[in-house]
Structures are given as C-alpha cells and as structure tokens.
Amino acid sequence: MKKIAVYLLALQLAGCGYFLYPERVGQTDGKVDPTVVILDAAGLLFGILPGVVAFAVDLTTGAIYLPAGGTSALDKHTKKLSQTDTLPEGVDADAIARELTMILGQPVSAAELQFFRGDAPLPADIALARY
C-alpha cells in the first residue's frame, strides 16, 4: 500500500510546473499560469497531500508564474482568429484583387476578399490555394 502511495505522489509531482517548466524556477511573482494550476489541482484527485505538495512546490519555486511576456498553453490553444471589419493599414484591396485575377486567371472582386488578423490557423471552412 505504501508503494502505491509513493508511486501516485511521484506521478503527480511529475506533472507539476517544477518539472514541466524548469526555466521558471526562481521567479518571485507574476501572472499565474492556469495550465500549471489545473495540473496541480489534478493532484487533489489523488488526495489532499499530492495536490497540496504540488501547489507548495510550484509556489515556493516560482514555477507557477508565467515569465514576463509569456503566454499560457491554454491561451495558445484557445486564441481565436478574428475577421477584421476594416482593411489593415496600407492594404490596397483593389491591387490585391487585380494580382489574384492575373494569377488565378479568374476574376476576383475586392469585395470578396477577406482579411484576418492573428497568428492562429485559418478556420477549416476557409479554402486556400497552396502552391
């Protein structure tokens, strides 16, 4: 029974921020990383002790805090690509439509163009020509 408890404790500690983000060790404050909090809270499923130990390790070492300017893994996966209502500065939609018409050999209207901002992948319903 003791071996199982030790195994579960070791398994849970392997999922905390101390091991996942060793470069964060030594930080004293900052924005809390929700990913690490969720992983630490998962330790509470195994019992109070593993969860409390995981939180204690991450809080005392600073591994629970995001680095300055850093983003959480949750933020990276939930970032949504949004369509802009206005053209980006310096973009000439008519010139782009003319270029596309020449390249594709089909008429392209500037009104049909859609501009997106963000660094996330395009939505699945947007068809792209790949060359």
Residue 93's nearest CA partner among 64, 126, 115 is 115
**pLDDT tens across 56-99, in order?**
888 888 888 888 877 777 776 665 544 455 666 777 888 888 98
Dihedral angle computed from the Cα positions of residues 61, 67, 73 and 76, in that order, rounded to the nearest 10 degrees: 170
Question: Is residue 9 very low, low, confident or very high in pLDDT (cuts 50, 70, 90)?
Answer: low
Is 38 in contact with 78 (CB distance < 8 Å)?
A: no
| pTM: predicted TM-score of the whole model, two decimal places | 0.50
Higher model confidence: residue 131 or residue 49? 49
Domain ranges of the chain: 2-75, 79-117
Length of the chain in terms of residues written: 131
Is 68 in contact with 30 (CB distance < 8 Å)?
A: yes
